[in-house]
Amino acid sequence: LTIDKGNHRHFMLKEIYEQPIVVAQTLKSYVRRLDDQVSLPTPDFDLSAIRRVTIVACGTSYYAGMVAKYWFEQFARVPVDIDVASEFRYRQPVMEDGGLALFISQSGETADTLAALRHARSEGQKIAVVVNVPTSTMAREADLLLPTHAGPEIGVASTKAFTCQLAVLAALAANLARAKGRLDPREEKEVVRHLSEAPAAINGALAYDEAIEAMAHLIAPARDVLYLGRGTDYPLALEGALKLKEISYIHAEGYAAGEMKHGPIALIDENVPVIVIAPSGPLFDKTVSNMQEVQARGGKVVLISDYDGIQAAGDGCMATITMPKVHPLIAPIVYAIPVQLLAYHVAVLKGTDVDQPRNLAKSVTVE
Ligand code: G6P
């Protein structure tokens, strides 16, 4: 197998552009359009007996896990704990019978995550693994193996693995909900329909690439950048900040939009761009009012929303990025694209080594 960049300048950009295809490929093994069902490999344990889920991962995979926490609790009404692996392992977590421990990893080799997996097993937990490398150590040690089909990811900063992880986690959430009697066939059909719309919506998001490239110069000179979001867009704000840090070396922070008033708002001035991730939906108005708090203090906002959202709140923003209008379930999958592209174009402007950023490794096999 030879892997090259095709006609892209970097592996990262190639991998960003592969997302419509690899997300579709991943969904194909979890979503059956024929009978409108979400289907998982059959675990050797009873999903309906799961009383608690513990999610553990690192880096970008951890943010996919944070999105999943919202989904598992909302759809399946199962309580969820989540930790970064390096904390989980040493904080003496309480794991009771009937617990499912879920590990998310592109490589399947991250040392902290693997150590956490073995610890959870020793505590009697069932082990589910969402992993992109099917031959990896974590894949071999799983009770329930849920592969992503993103294909090899070369860029150190994870992109396509993240959106594929979200696709799998949404399917797992729906499955758990059904097992718990909380998803009737009509609702399941809706979930299948929304998930199936993701690849085309990602394509729609990619169409905004040139516009994002054109506005990257607004972010490149900044020393600090703040990302805000609510609900499942909060982990996306964290992921956006991580991407920017990783490849452009600009300091960035992701914050829950409503928590900004308890600290980071003190940072706001005209030199700190604020990226607001706010798709139309039940949380839109609340996020916009946090955005207005930023604007009232002279902050320069980039609003990422859909056409309706930008019509309603785009005035007074430094820039806006228009996404296709999507169901809230797939919004985190679709809104990952502008967040990745923005980090990418800023990094290119800064002339950093996008695919091999300094001090970072693709797979971290030390604890
Ligand atoms: C490294 C990579 C990140 C990745 C993290 C977790 O730090 O640079 O991009 O998100 O490891 O990796 P995993 O393979 O476990 O998903």
What does the pLDDT look like over 137-176, one tens digit per residue? 999 999 999 999 999 999 889 999 999 999 999 999 999 9
Q: Which of 180, 189, 286, 362 is catalytic?
A: 362
**Is the model's pTM score more than 0.90?**
yes
Confidence (pLDDT) at 204: 97
Q: Which atom of ligand 1 is nearest to the CA of 158?
A: 9
Cα-trace Rg, the chain: 20
CA of 161 to the centre of ligand 1 (A): 10
Nearest CA to ligand 1 atom 4: 59
Confidence (pLDDT) at 1: 54
CA of 182 to the centre of ligand 1 (A): 33
Nearest CA to ligand 1 atom 2: 362
What is the rounded average pLDDT of the residues 199-203?
Answer: 98
> Is 302's pLDDT higher than 80?
yes
Determine whether 362 is an active site residue. yes
Burial of 83 (0-12, 13-18, 19+ CB in 10 A): middle
Confidence (pLDDT) at 294: 95
**In the chain, what is the straight-line distance between the N-terminal and C-terminal CA atoms, in Å?**
31
pLDDT confidence band for 288 (50 / 70 / 90): very high
Confidence (pLDDT) at 2: 61
Residues with CB under 6 A from ligand 1: 58-61, 105-107, 110, 113, 156-158, 360, 362-364
Cα–Cα distances in Å, from 19 out to 131, 171, 206, 223? 16, 17, 9, 30
Confidence (pLDDT) at 153: 93
CA of 362 to the centre of ligand 1 (A): 6
Out of 110, 168, 247, give the residue to mutate to test ligand 1, the one with the largest number of ligand atoms within 8 Å of its CB. Answer: 110
Q: Which atom of ligand 1 is nearest to the CA of 57?
A: 15
- Cα gap 182→135, rounded to integer Å: 34
What is the rounded average pLDDT of the residues 115-144?
Answer: 97
Confidence (pLDDT) at 103: 98
Burial of 125 (0-12, 13-18, 19+ CB in 10 A): buried
Share of residues in the chain with pLDDT > 70 (%): 99
ipTM over 0.85: yes
Confidence (pLDDT) at 353: 86
Q: Which atom of ligand 1 is nearest to the CA of 58?
A: 6
Confidence (pLDDT) at 336: 98
Nearest CA to ligand 1 atom 15: 105
Q: Which atom of ligand 1 is nearest to the CA of 59?
A: 10
Phi-psi region of 205 (alpha: psi -120 to 50; beta: other; left: phi over 0): alpha
CA of 60 to the centre of ligand 1 (A): 6
- Three-state SS for 209-244 is HHHHHHHHHHCCCCCEEEEEECCCHHHHHHHHHHHH
Confidence (pLDDT) at 17: 97
Burial readout 63-81 (b: 16 or more C-beta within 10 A, e: otherwise): bbbbbbbbbbeebbebebb
CA of 302 to the centre of ligand 1 (A): 27
CA of 107 to the centre of ligand 1 (A): 7
pLDDT digits (tens, 9 = 90+) for 53-106: 999 999 999 999 999 999 999 999 999 999 999 999 889 999 999 999 999 999
Write down the mean pLDDT value for the chain.
95
> Is 23's pLDDT higher than 80?
yes
Worst-scoring range by mean pLDDT, 166-170, 337-341, 343-347, 356-360? 356-360
Residue (of 301, 335, 36, 320) closest to 193 by Cα position: 36
Out of 60, 132, 169, give the residue to mutate to test ligand 1, the one with the largest number of ligand atoms within 8 Å of its CB. Answer: 60
pLDDT digits (tens, 9 = 90+) for 232-273: 999 999 999 999 999 999 999 999 999 999 988 888 999 999
What is the rounded average pLDDT of the residues 189-198?
Answer: 97
Confidence (pLDDT) at 362: 85
Higher pLDDT, 313 or 362: 313
Q: Which atom of ligand 1 is nearest to the CA of 156?
A: 8
Confidence (pLDDT) at 310: 98
